[in-house]
Amino acid sequence: MAANLNSVRDNINQIETCFDKLCNEVILNLNEFGDYIKSTKDLCNQVQEMIKILENEVVHVSNEEKEWKDIKGKLATTSIKDKVLLDVGGEKFSTSIETLTREKIRSLSYSSHNNGTLKEILMIKFNQHWKLIYKTPHDDFDAKTFHSRCDNQGPTMTIILSNNNYLFGDFTAIPWTSDNSNKSDTTAFLFTLTNL
């Protein structure tokens, strides 16, 4: 009879060990599932925030498109059909209305509320690293020096601070050259930077 009791005790000990092991596994799995639920909630919150940001950007881009169409319409009715003189922060630039209006709207809209920088966006968009190749002191621009440093450097972004403190620029994938010719670049765009 003592042998039977020892056998029953051993079986109970084995069952208890298996039960404890099973309880630990269930607790680990429940904790893991709890982590998955928390991660899923966090992702849902992030997606909702991104949707809000994208909705705001759609409204912003729609407004920019309307402004561009208004400007394009005004330019189309301008009596000067050949050359136009642009005053950008006191600097004079000449171009044609055709150049200003022939390309479809391209816009890089990115506001400070998106928690990022233009540099970060361009790195994500074009997967490139950027380096400063030319910087000039205020009111000391020299075209010869500019072209000696910037010609044939590959895709470039130009950022200009006007005399009236307007910050604007452009991006082009076509390298700068000094051959006085016009090039077409379907990836080029103009931008302005503002604090919202």
Classified as helix, coil or strand, 100 is helix
Q: What is the value of pTM for the model shown?
A: 0.37
Residue 131 CA, distance from chain mean position: 18
Task: Confirm if 185 and 172 have CB atoms less than 8 A apart.
Answer: yes
Cα 34 to Cα 42: distance, rounded to the nearest angstrom:
12
What's the pLDDT score for residue 2? Answer: 75
- From the first residue on, what is the mean pLDDT of each consecutive set of 10 residues in the chain (196 residues)? 81 91 92 91 90 87 82 63 60 62 42 46 58 74 81 84 77 84 81 67
What are 12-69's pLDDT values in tens digits?
A: 899 999 999 999 999 999 999 999 999 999 999 998 988 998 888 888 888 888 887 7
Domain boundaries, the chain: 1-75, 106-193
CB atoms under 10 Å from CB of 96, counted, come to 13
